[in-house]
């Protein structure tokens, strides 16, 4: 059996575990904690960049693999709906549904639920929400996971690796997320443009009951509670830092944007932050090291980790 060390167990690491071929003995090293972006991710699997009305890079093949990877009970049955505020927006949505690429994902127009301003809801076909933490736990039960940081990673003459000075592995896969300590040490700079995001847990007096998007997402979490977010913040210079604390101006920005299209009271009950492993060219990074063929990585998943991780994990193994 080949012994493979997997460093990091967010959505990238869990997808690599899900796609591991037979005959691999996988040992996971994962520090977890506040720096694990997947544990705060909203979990939307969305083939469209809604703000730009554009199809996400490799959306069709990524969606197909994602559907085969994520257990059905961890996926929402409903889609995301774009709130169309004017007749012009509604007409544009309908016109774009003939578009050769976008058309596949621009679904029917639905009535607007009470409590929401708009003339229609455009369904994003193929979209769903993944219970990300549920998926991490589901995969965690199938592999050996150590709550341990990789502090030393050394190549050996025979192509194997030692981790933390003693343990030997035939191959190492790095899925370190935004921190990317060993990935950047061994590959050099990956062109990160890390962003941070803040989300709010809110109670609504009027309950639309479906996943909505209009400048931000508003997503039902059950019992009248919703997630509102997430904001985009710049200025994360390097990976060796915790996510910033939630701040009042980002919260106000989210609330002001929601108040433009949501009626009734919005009552903030909690907030959270995390850092996204975005890259300057908005493309993930995955592959095998040119000089160390037994070293692989999957990173740079940006805002689309849930969509792309299973496809790229599959490609890395193959």
Ligand X SMILES: Cc1cc2nc3c(=O)[nH]c(=O)nc-3n(C[C@H](O)[C@H](O)[C@H](O)COP(=O)(O)OP(=O)(O)OC[C@H]3O[C@@H](n4cnc5c(N)ncnc54)[C@H](O)[C@@H]3O)c2cc1C
In this structure, the strands spanning 266-276 and 195-204 are antiparallel
The Cα 154–Cα 168 span in angstroms is 9
Which is nearer to ligand X, 50 or 90 (by Cβ)?
A: 50
- Nearest by Cα to 187 from 282, 300, 281, 318: 300
Find out whether 127 and 114 touch, Cβ atoms under 8 Å: no
Count of positions on this chain that bind ligand X (CB under 6 A):
45
Non-local (6+) Cβ contacts of 144 within 8 A are 26, 27, 28
User: Which is nearest to 177 in space by CA: 24, 4, 55, 12?
Assistant: 12
Task: Say which DSSP state 206 is in.
Answer: S
Using CB under 6 A as the binding rule, the residues of this chain from 160 to 199 that contact ligand X are 175-179, 181-182, 197, 199
Question: Is 314 among the residues that bind ligand X (CB under 6 A)?
Answer: no
Under the binding rule (CB under 6 A), the answer on residue 41 touching ligand X is: yes
3-state class (DSSP) for residue 290 = coil
**Pick from 62, 251, 307, 316: which binds ligand X (CB under 6 A)?**
307
Q: Rounded to whole angstroms, how far apart are CA atoms 31 and 68?
A: 28
Task: Tell the smallest beta-carbon distance from residue 223 to ligand X (Å).
Answer: 21
When binding is defined by CB under 6 A, the residue of 18, 19, 26, 43 that contacts ligand X is: 43
139 scored as a contact of ligand X (CB under 6 A): no
Q: Residue 9's CB: how many other CB atoms inside 10 A? A: 26
Q: Supply the minimum distance, in Å, between the C-beta of residue 267 and ligand X.
A: 20
Site string for ligand X, 262-281 (x = CB under 6 A): ------------xxxx----
**With respect to ligand X, which residue has the nearer C-beta, 107 or 310?**
310
In eight-state DSSP terms, residue 69 is H
Pick the stretch among 2-10, 59-67, 83-91, 251-259 that binds ligand X (CB under 6 A): 2-10
Minimal distance in Å, beta carbon 278 to ligand X? 8
Nearer to ligand X, 49 or 90 (CB): 49
Which residues of the shown chain bind ligand X in the complex (CB under 6 A)? 7-13, 29-33, 35-38, 40-44, 149-150, 175-179, 181-182, 197, 199, 230, 274-277, 299, 301-307
């Amino acid at each position: 059996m080949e012994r493979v060390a997997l460093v990091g167990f967010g959505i990238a690491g869990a997808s690599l575990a899900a796609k591991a071929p037979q005959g691999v003995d996988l040992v996971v090293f994962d520090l977890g904690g506040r720096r694990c972006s997947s544990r705060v991710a909203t979990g939307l699997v969305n083939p469209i960049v809604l703000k730009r009305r554009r199809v996400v890079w490799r959306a069709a093949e990524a969606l197909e693999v994602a559907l085969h990877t994520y257990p059905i009970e961890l996926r929402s049955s409903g889609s995301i709906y774009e709130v169309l505020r004017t007749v012009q927006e509604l007409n544009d949505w309908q016109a774009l549904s003939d578009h050769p690429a976008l058309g596949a994902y621009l679904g029917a127009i639905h009535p607007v639920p009470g409590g929401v301003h708009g003339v229609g809801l455009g369904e994003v076909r193929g979209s769903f929400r993944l219970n990300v933490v549920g998926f991490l736990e589901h995969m965690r039960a199938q592999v050996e996971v150590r709550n341990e940081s990789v502090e030393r990673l050394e190549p050996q003459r025979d192509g194997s690796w030692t981790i933390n000075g003693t343990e030997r592995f035939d191959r190492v896969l790095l899925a370190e997320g935004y921190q990317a300590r060993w990935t950047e040490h061994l590959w050099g700079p990956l062109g990160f443009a890390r962003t941070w995001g803040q989300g709010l847990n809110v109670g609504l007096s009027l309950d639309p009951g479906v996943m909505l998007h209009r400048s931000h997402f508003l997503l039902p979490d059950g019992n009248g509670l919703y997630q509102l977010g997430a904001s985009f913040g710049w200025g994360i210079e390097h990976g060796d830092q915790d996510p910033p604390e939630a701040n009042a101006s980002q919260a106000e920005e989210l609330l002001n944007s929601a108040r433009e299209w949501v009626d009734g009271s919005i009552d903030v009950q909690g907030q959270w932050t995390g850092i996204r492993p975005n890259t300057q060219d908005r493309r993930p990074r995955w592959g095998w090291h040119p000089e160390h063929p037994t070293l692989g990585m999957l990173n740079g998943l940006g805002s689309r980790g849930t969509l792309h991780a299973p496809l790229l994990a599959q490609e890395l193994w193959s």
